[in-house]
Structures are given as C-alpha cells and as structure tokens.
Amino acid sequence: MKQEKKLKVGILFGGKSGEHEVSFCSASSIIGAINPEKYEVTPIGISKEGYWLSPEKSRQALLTGRVEGKETVCWESKTDKHQFIIVDHQDSNLSCSFLEKLDVIFPVLHGPYGEDGTIQGLLELMNIPYVGSGVTASSLAMDKELMKKIFLQEGLPQTRWLMVKRKRWKNEPESVLAEIEKKMHYPLFVKPTNLGSSVGVSKVKKREGLAAALDKAALYDRKVLIEEGIENIIEVECSVLGNDEPEVSVIGEIKPAGEYYDYDAKYMDENTQLIIPAGIPDKVVQQIQRISKLAFLAIDAAGFARVDFFVQKRKKSYWIYLNEINTIPGFTRVSMYPKLWEKSGIGFSELIDKLIQLGLERYQDRLLNKKDYPSKLLQK
C-alpha cells in the first residue's frame, strides 16, 4: 500500500523576548513527540538578537540549549520577485528556500516578536500555513491593556486594573502613585503590559514598594499594567482547542511554591503543584469553561490558548475573575496546557496532530475568502 506523503512541519523557537529559554523546552518537547510517520520536522531557531538559524544550526541549538554564531534572514528583491536569503556571520548568502518548501509552521515563540502577531504577519506575507491564532488575536492577547478592554466590552469578570505609560511615570511619578492608590487597594500586581511567563512582575503590599515595581516593569515595556490583587484565591487554568467552534478542557489548579505564580514558581521551583482536576465545585468549573470559550472567541483566537483565572471563595459562594488568555502557552510535557488535555482524553502526540490540522484548516478558510480578489480587482 502506498504511503502518504509526510507533511513538512517547521518548528519556530527561541526569539527576541525574555521567554527565549522557555521556547527551547517547548520546541524540544514537540519534536520529541510528533508522529514521525506523518510529519517531517524542520527546526528553525531565532536568537535573542533576532538572527535566524539554518535547520542544521537550529538542531545544534536545541541540543546545547544555546545559540552559537550569528546568522540572519532578510528579504532580497531580484527581478521584482521577493526571495528569502540567509546571511550568516561570514557574510555569505545562502538560499533560504527551505521555508517556502514547508507545508505548515508550528510557532512556539513565547512573548514579544512571536506571540504578538509579528511572526504571524510574516508567515501570512509568505503564504505559509501556521498553527495558532492570527495577527489580530495574537496582538490583542499579548497587549494586556487591549485584551482587558475587549473582555470589558464582552462583560467578562475581571479585577480592577490601570495602565500607565513609562513616559508618564517618569515625568509625573507622584501623580501616578496618587492615581493608583485612589483607584485600587493593596496588594497590587505590577507587570509589563506586553510580556509573559511573569517576567518583570512584582507583588506590592504597600506604597514603599510601588515605585520600585513600576521601575522594574518599565524596563521591559513602555506600558505598565497595575492590577488589584485578591486575597485567599485559587489560581486555575483552562485549555481551549479549536477554531470557530472551540472545545474546552478540564480545569487545573496551581499551587505556587512562592507567594504567587512568578517565573521561578513556573519554571524553577519543583514545589509548585499542578492539581488536575481543580478542587472546585462542578458549577464553578462549568462557569470557568464557559468564560474560557467566550474569551477565546472574543479576541478571535484560533488553534490553541490557555485561559487563566482567579477564584475567590466568599462564605458559601465563589467569585470568578478572568486574568488573561495566552495564545502560545508553554508546550512541554509538564506544561499545564497539554496536561489539561491529557486529563481530558487527548494525549500529547494527538494534541500536536490536532493543532497542525487546525492550522491547515484555518489557512484553507482564509484562501476561500480571498480566492476571487485578484479577478475582481482586474475587472475594475
């Protein structure tokens, strides 16, 4: 019996964000679990400086956990035709045709320049199918201020929050501090608006620590988000899978090793616990699943996303607060997103397969919408 042709899948990892190292772990896990009978994998690494690696050097980077040398990819125009070219550290030009030969790309570039719509826009310009959300949803989910405004418009429950621009904080520090304390109560969480993995996040219990927290967050972004903290909460997460008709997973609970779920608690401290399913009543679970689906659809997400919540018990009732949605969540075998689906009946390898198929379906859907554009334009 004739074997079907393998799909050529590119795994994009690394990137310029503060979550560079986390991306290596996600890429290695996907490559180790993807079905070799169905897919031919090409790793594509990007350094912290934005240099693109050849597949050979990308494989080496995954083995060593670091990027060696410098090489980048740029556009070059020849006879009115755009061509992708690699320029390595020895200034020699090599054709980067392997990108155009790929059937689909699975980006696991966490944070800015990967999860924020930039790489998605590039792939759409190149007409290459990819896994996950498009430009708009990626941009909205990465910018927590815009994301929260969308959720507010949709009537989804959130804690009180405020955004302050770096320039204003620098020029009017006393005015900023006064406004924050007027509108919110301690404890507060201060974070960069466009970042993930709790990079640059601080918990502030009183005014003495607020200025330092704002300075820290402003190192990473021109916009700083301040959120009102809630005491005695349960942190829970829900995984979403699909395009226009998404499915939701069981709910998982996080018990961070530290005072809150910071970078160390997520990736370093083995005492952080992931409890699946979460120890909350079924009615609360159903509400969280419903809100997760609404949040996913509100930003027009696609493929996959993880939605994070705070749950507070007040006497006999539970109050749910939507925290954020992540369009490229961590994707190692021990990450919450795949673990929730595993408990929901979808294994790691099967989940990768479903995501690739969803990426191809979304690409076909875009083509159907645009197939008549050229002829219509010519008729005008």
Q: Give the H or E element holding residue 336.
A: helix 336-343
According to the model, what pLDDT value does residue 79 have? 37
Reported as a single tens digit per residue, the pLDDT across 294-335 is: 999 999 999 999 999 999 998 889 999 999 999 999 998 889
Reported as a single tens digit per residue, the pLDDT across 272-301 is: 788 999 999 999 999 999 999 999 999 999
d(C-alpha 84, C-alpha 354), whole Å? 29
d(C-alpha 49, C-alpha 371), whole Å? 37
d(C-alpha 138, C-alpha 136), whole Å? 5
According to the model, what pLDDT value does residue 367 have? 77
- With a pLDDT cut of 90, the percent of the chain lying above it is 64
| Pairing assessment for the beta strands 202-204 and 188-192 based on DSSP bridges | antiparallel
Q: What mean pLDDT, rounded, does the chain reach? A: 85
> Where residue 159 falls among pLDDT bands split at 50, 70, 90?
very high
According to the model, what pLDDT value does residue 237 have? 98
According to the model, what pLDDT value does residue 22 have? 83
Contact, 42 vs 8, CB < 8 A? yes
Contact, 83 vs 73, CB < 8 A? no
Which residue type, as a one-letter code, is found at position 104?
Answer: V
**pTM for this entry:** 0.85
Contact, 285 vs 268, CB < 8 A? no
Reported as a single tens digit per residue, the pLDDT across 176-203 is: 999 999 999 999 999 999 876 567 899 9
d(C-alpha 28, C-alpha 108), whole Å? 10
**Lowest-pLDDT range of 97-106, 113-122, 193-202, 294-303:** 193-202
Q: Where are the beta strands (DSSP E) in the chain?
A: 7-14, 39-46, 71-78, 81-88, 93-95, 104-107, 161-165, 188-192, 202-204, 223-228, 233-242, 247-255, 273-275, 303-314, 317-326
Average pLDDT over residues 229-252: 95
Reported as a single tens digit per residue, the pLDDT across 49-65 is: 888 888 888 999 898 87
Contact, 216 vs 203, CB < 8 A? no
Task: Render the burial of 114-141: b for 16+ CB within 10 Å, e for the rest.
Answer: bbbbbbbebbbeeebbbbbbbbebbbbb
d(C-alpha 218, C-alpha 370), whole Å? 41
According to the model, what pLDDT value does residue 366 have? 80
Domains of the chain from N-terminus onward: 7-131 (3.40.50.20), 160-228 (3.30.1490.20), 232-346 (3.30.470.20)
Residue 96 has pLDDT above 70, yes or no: no
Query: Which two tokens mark 317?
Result: 């009732």
Q: How far apart are the first and last CA of the chain?
A: 50
Contact, 1 vs 33, CB < 8 A? no
d(C-alpha 283, C-alpha 58), whole Å? 46
According to the model, what pLDDT value does residue 333 have? 86
Residue 157 has pLDDT above 70, yes or no: yes
According to the model, what pLDDT value does residue 68 have? 60
**Lowest-pLDDT range of 82-91, 212-221, 273-282, 306-315:** 82-91
According to the model, what pLDDT value does residue 294 have? 98
According to the model, what pLDDT value does residue 98 have? 65
Average pLDDT over residues 339-367: 95
According to the model, what pLDDT value does residue 270 have? 62
